[in-house]
Structure 1
Amino acid sequence: MNLNEIAEKILQTDRIAVVTHASPDGDAVGSTLGITLALRELGKDVVVLSKEPAPLNLSFLPFYEEYGLEATIGEDRELLLALDCGNKERLSMERDGFDEIFKINIDHHVSNEMYGKLNYVDSDSASTAEIIFELMEALGVIPDQSMAQCLYTGIVSDTGSFRFPSTTAKTLRITAELLETGLDFSYIQRVLFSTSEFKRIKLLGRALMTLESHMDGFVSIMNLEANDFNILSISDRDSGDIVNYGLEPPEADVSVLLKEAEGFFRVSVRTKLQIDASSLCGKFDGGGHVRAAGCNIKAESLEEAKRLILEEIERMRSV
């Protein structure tokens, strides 16, 4: 499947719904709002589906307020465009009408389950926003500054401001074209990477106090209890960047953040060189990227959750 075929199908369709994964990040929201702007410029009737609002730090994006207003596919919708989501269960929407509607699945996660009628999954792209840029080209849409704002947000979010190994020459070429719109990229960088609410900084402090070193420093593990989120009145999705701090020790190759839930632990994983984060999380029915992934581990205690993931890392190291 190529993007020209997908563009042809979209151009033949008038009423479209766009959706991405639950707990949306910068790439998910930037891609969704970017393609929404492009399709509306083409005269399409587009609805954004989501069970929840987008993160507050993305409120500068155009049409941010449409996130979380609708979650059910209207009977008039002809096509569902699913973005940045590896499996249909994680799509942030109600299931009414899902099986019947024509689905296009666009993603860059290697673990994608190809659940669309049409699928375009490019794991060589650093972000789904890159693919949306290319889709806009296929649709004949030249990104304006508002679209560029969305796509740039997606790209810098998933590349860690161009720090992650997923960044390619193509990533930078696309970024250069977005900057040519006059985009105020320094404002976006400041909001995404240099601005945090007081309670998020406090949450970071709580996590760092739990930092442990395992396997002679090869693995860093941190954890957050349910009570940490309750005391600070903060959502667990506001903890996304904390796991990156575990990779700062030069000897660390894997960083793990365990977040307590009811009967299980939400797990975020980041890696440098030796361990494939997606494969590691895949052992617990999760997935993601080679260097950044997530999963849920069913465990009765924190110590059990640590043991399970450390045993799997040890096994992967020995292969």
Structure 2
Amino acid sequence: MSRKEIVKLIEEFNTIIIHRHVRPDPDAYGSQGGLAEIIRSNFPDKKVWMTGEQDPSLSFLAVMDEVPDEAYQDALVIVCDTANQARIDDQRYHDGQKLIKIDHHPEVDFYGDVQWVDTTASSTCEMIFHLFEEFEKKEASLSEEAARLIYAGIVGDTGRFLFPSTTQKTLSIAAKLVNYAFDRPALYNQMYKTPMHVAKLKGYILQNFELNEEGYSTIKLSKEVLKHYGVTASETSQLVGLLGDIEGILSWVFFVEEEETIRVRLRSKGPVINGIAAEHNGGGHPMAAGAKASTWEETEEIAAKLKQVCKEYKK
């Protein structure tokens, strides 16, 4: 996929509506908001909307717009950071005149008139920066706000540059972004602050996780546990990396009970786990994936598969 083709379409359309995935993270907000800021600052006459349910924990990054149905008429729609159509927040994404997909996840759904998928990128925000470089050839500029949003997404999806997805290219982009005058300490504080009730659940997890000899670990967070600590299922996403620093753990899974399903959050330091997620209504990266289970019995099946991939990895 040519970045030039995407730039050409953005230049052609007067109305652009940008979507991202449900249950957003900093990369979803950062790529959506960063792209919106690039377009707004360089094409002030264009109408640019961001749509999706507002996540209060990410409001420090961006605030979503109330997009009327009629805005989609003759609009260019861009979906950021979303591999499959079912996870696109605001299902009106197909109501525009043209649809672009920009994503760094392994391909799940082929959708859109134009697709740019780069699984070698650390984040969709990294891709948005490369898209800006295409605009830069036409003397476009990057605002401090766009730099802040793109940096936030890269930091979030690389685990503060600790994950294997961090490359020389990633660090080179980060080095360019830190030259902009946004407040990095304030950004880090907002991204990684832990509310008291979530901190108490962290203690529960550290006391109750199970580590098996094959190197995999599991933790079950039932509705009763979440209610006891006053934590929502979505807030548990802040803690999914918690077990990664513990000696002996190769891969781990959080089973988080929601109203009608059990959210499965898989992480790994070596064994490939997105195949397991794909078998249980999910998907994702080789070392970070998500799925859904309908019963606690199904979570046992997932744990057994995690055991097997860890066992094979250690051979």
| Secondary structure of 2:208's aligned partner | coil
Match of 1:104 among 96, 100, 105: 100
Q: 1:217 Cα shift?
A: 5.0
| Secondary structure of 1:89's aligned partner | helix
* Structure 2: 5+ residue stretches without partners: none
Contact 1:38 1:143 in 2 (8 A): yes
Q: Give the Cα–Cα distance (whole angstroms) in 1 for the partners of residues 256 and 172 of structure 2.
A: 37
Is 282-291 or 18-27 further displaced after alignment?
A: 282-291
Q: 1:23 Cα shift?
A: 0.8
| Secondary structure of 2:116's aligned partner | strand
Q: 1:17 Cα shift?
A: 0.5
Contact 2:103 2:118 in 1 (8 A): yes
Please tell me whether residue 126 in structure 1 is matched to residue 119 in structure 2.
Answer: no
Instruction: Provide the residue aligned with 2:209 in structure 1.
Output: 211
Instruction: Provide the residue aligned with 1:48 in structure 2.
Output: 50
Deviations 1:77-133 (A, max 9, x none): 5111000001111011034x7256411000000134221110001011000000011
Contact 1:264 1:298 in 2 (8 A): yes
Q: Which amino acid aligns with 1:308?
A: E
| Secondary structure of 2:24's aligned partner | coil
Q: Give the Cα–Cα distance (whole angstroms) in 1 for the partners of residues 55 and 280 of structure 2.
A: 27
Instruction: Provide the residue aligned with 1:59 in structure 2.
Output: 59
Q: How many percent of aligned residue pairs carry the same amino acid?
A: 29
Is 239-248 or 34-43 further displaced after alignment?
A: 239-248
Q: Give the Cα–Cα distance (whole angstroms) in 2 for the partners of residues 55 and 119 of structure 1.
A: 30
Instruction: Provide the residue aligned with 2:277 in structure 1.
Output: 281
Deviations 1:163-188 (A, max 9, x none): 10100001011111111112322222
Instruction: Provide the residue aligned with 1:192 in structure 2.
Output: 191
Question: How high is the TM-score relative to the length of structure 2?
Answer: 0.90
Q: 1:252 Cα shift?
A: 1.1
Please tell me whether residue 76 in structure 1 is matched to residue 78 in structure 2.
Answer: no
* Structure 1: 5+ residue stretches without partners: none
Instruction: Provide the residue aligned with 1:169 in structure 2.
Output: 168
Is 151-160 or 97-106 further displaced after alignment?
A: 97-106
Contact 1:17 1:73 in 2 (8 A): no
Q: 1:283 Cα shift?
A: 1.6
Q: Which amino acid aligns with 1:128?
A: T
User: CA separation of 1:138/1:132 partners in 2, compared to 1, >3 Å: closer, same or farther?
Assistant: same
Contact 1:111 1:278 in 2 (8 A): no
User: CA separation of 1:60/1:261 partners in 2, compared to 1, >3 Å: closer, same or farther?
Assistant: closer
Alignment of structure 1 residues 1-319 onto 2, 5 Å: 1-41=1-41, 42-43=43-44, 44-50=46-52, 52-56=53-57, 58-61=58-61, 64-66=62-64, 69-70=66-67, 74-95=71-92, 98=94, 101-140=97-136, 141-193=140-192, 195-214=193-212, 216=213, 218-273=215-270, 275-299=271-295, 301=296, 304-316=297-309, 317-318=311-312
Q: Give the Cα–Cα distance (whole angstroms) in 2 for the partners of residues 253 and 111 of structure 1.
A: 25
Contact 2:233 2:258 in 1 (8 A): no
Q: 1:71 Cα shift?
A: 7.9
Contact 1:129 1:155 in 2 (8 A): yes
Contact 1:73 1:94 in 2 (8 A): no
Deviations 1:29-73 (A, max 9, x none): 0111111111112132111111x21242x3333xx2335x34857
Is 255-264 or 117-126 further displaced after alignment?
A: 255-264
Question: How high is the TM-score relative to the length of structure 1?
Answer: 0.89
Q: 1:206 Cα shift?
A: 2.9
Aligned residues: 307
Q: Give the Cα–Cα distance (whole angstroms) in 1 for the partners of residues 40 and 182 of structure 2.
A: 20
Deviations 1:285-312 (A, max 9, x none): 211111111010121x3xx234211222
